[in-house]
Structure 1
Amino acid sequence: MKVKFLGAAMSAALTIGLLAAPAASASVVEGRAQAVGLLKSGGPVLSAAAEKALLGSDEDLRVFLADGQRTAKAEDERVLAAQDEKNRKLIVQAAGRGGPSVKDAAKKALAGTAADRKKFLEIDYAVCQNIDYDVLTTRQLSAGPEVRAAAQRALNTNSTDDVRDFVFFVRQAATERDNESAEVQRLTDEAYAAADQGDAEGARYAAGEAAAVAKNARDANAQRLEGLRFQWGAEARAAWQAEIDRAKRDKAEADKAAAQKTDAAKLIADAVADATLAVPNGRRAAATFLKLGGPAVKAAAEVTLSGDEADARAFVATELAVATEKDDRAAVAAIANGPGSDRLHQAAKDVLAGPYAGVVEFLRTRNYPGRETDDRIAVNQIMSAGGRVVKERAQKALDGTPADVRAFLEVGQFAAKIVDDRIKVAQSLSSGAEVDAAAQAVLDGSDSGLAPFLASGLGKAKLRDQDTAAHVARIDELVAGAAAAAESVEQ
Structure 2
Amino acid sequence: MVTTAALAPAVLMASPAFAAGSDAPAAGKQPAPTAPDQAVPDHTAPAPDQGEEDRKTILAIIADPMASEYMKEAGRKAIADGPQAMRKFIEVDQHKIRMDDYRIAILRLLQNAGPGLKEGINKILDTGDTIEKLRHFYDVTQHELRDDDNKVEISRLIGTGGPAVKEAGKKALKGTPADRAQFLKTGRFLAQASDDRVELARIDESWDGPILSEAIGKLLNGSPTPAELRHFLEVTQYELRDQDNRVAIAKIIDGGGPELVKAGRAALAGTAADRTEFLKTGQHEARAKDQAAKDKEKPTPGKDGKGGDAKGDGSAAGSGTGATTGNTATTAQGRTGAPLATTGAGDQTTLIAGGAGTALVAGAGLMLAARMRRAGAKG
Into which bin does the TM-score normalised by the smaller protein fall? 0.3 to 0.5
The structure that has the greater radius of gyration is 2
Scaled by the length of structure 1, what TM-score is found? Answer: 0.36
Structure ranking higher in helix proportion: 1
